Amino acid sequence: MRGQAVIHKRTSTVPYQIAARTSRPAQEVLAQFDLERVPAMVVAERGVHYLVIRPARRFRYGADLAAGFAIAIVLALLILTAVTPVVLVALPVAFLPALPLLLDHRPDLALSAIEDDGETRVTAHGQASPDLAEYLDRYLESLPPVEPAPPETDAEDDGWADAEMSEDFFSE
C-alpha cells in the first residue's frame, strides 16, 4: 500500500433490540455470555441482572482527565489575567478537553436477564456491530425455551363455582 492513505473506517453499528424467554436461570444466562467470541468488545458494567457491552477503548482518556485538563486551563488563564485582562476572552478554550468525549460515539448494548414466575426474560437493546448482533442472535437461539405449564385442573369443586346467589342472600 505504498503511496495510499490509510483510512480508518468506523465500524458500522445497527440498532438492536430483542426479547426472549428461557427456562435457564438469569445468573447462568449472564455468566455464559462469552464475549471472547466477539473481538474488541468488553463488559463495561456488570450488575446482578444486566451487562453493558461496548467496544474496548484504545486509550485511557475519560471524563476525569478531561476535567483535570479543563481545570488546568482555567487556572492558567486566570493567572495570566494578572498580566492582561484580555486573556479572559480565551476562557471558552477550557471546553476543548471535553470535545473528544463528546465526539466519541461508542455503541453500547445492554443485556438483561430477569427471573419471573419460573422463567427468565432476556432482553438486549442498544447499538451493536454486525458481529455482535450475529453472536447475540445465535446465543439467544441456543437458550432452552420455556416449557408451557400444564393446564390447571380444579382438584376440589366445593360447589360454589356454578352456584347462583339468590337475591335474599345479601339482604338481611
Ranges of each domain in the chain = 14-57+107-142, 63-102
The whole-number average pLDDT for the span 136-155 is 78
Residue 23: what are its φ and ψ, rounded to 5°? -95, -5
Q: What is the pLDDT of residue 150?
A: 66
Report how far residue 108's alpha carbon sits from residue 89's, in angstroms, rounded to the nearest whole number: 38
Least confident of 71-85, 97-111, 122-136, 152-166: 152-166
Residue 125 has pLDDT above 60, yes or no: yes
- DSSP calls for 133-146: HHHHHHHHHHSPPP
Contact between 53 and 63 under an 8 Å Cβ cutoff? The reply is no
Residue 2 has pLDDT above 60, yes or no: no
Superfamily of domain 14-57+107-142: Kinase associated domain 1, KA1 (3.30.310.80)
Q: Which residue has the higher pLDDT, 34 or 98?
A: 98
Residue 3's pLDDT band, with cuts at 50, 70 and 90, is very low
Q: Which residue has the higher pLDDT, 149 or 5?
A: 149
The whole-number average pLDDT for the span 47-66 is 85
- DSSP calls for 45-99: EE-SSEEEEEEPPSS---HHHHHHHHHHHHHHHHHHTTT-GGGGGGGGGGGGGGH
Residue 13's pLDDT band, with cuts at 50, 70 and 90, is confident
Q: Which residue has the higher pLDDT, 156 or 70?
A: 70
Contact between 147 and 23 under an 8 Å Cβ cutoff? The reply is yes
Q: Which residue has the higher pLDDT, 9 or 76?
A: 76
C-alpha cell at 32: 455464559
What residue has cell string 360447589?
159
| Residues above pLDDT 90, as percent of the chain | 30
Side-by-side strand order, sheet with 109-116: 14-22, 119-128, 109-116, 50-55, 41-46
- pTM for the model: 0.58
Least confident of 6-20, 82-96, 155-169: 155-169
- Which value, to the nearest 10 degrees, does the dihedral of the CA atoms of residues 15, 63, 10, 133 take? -30
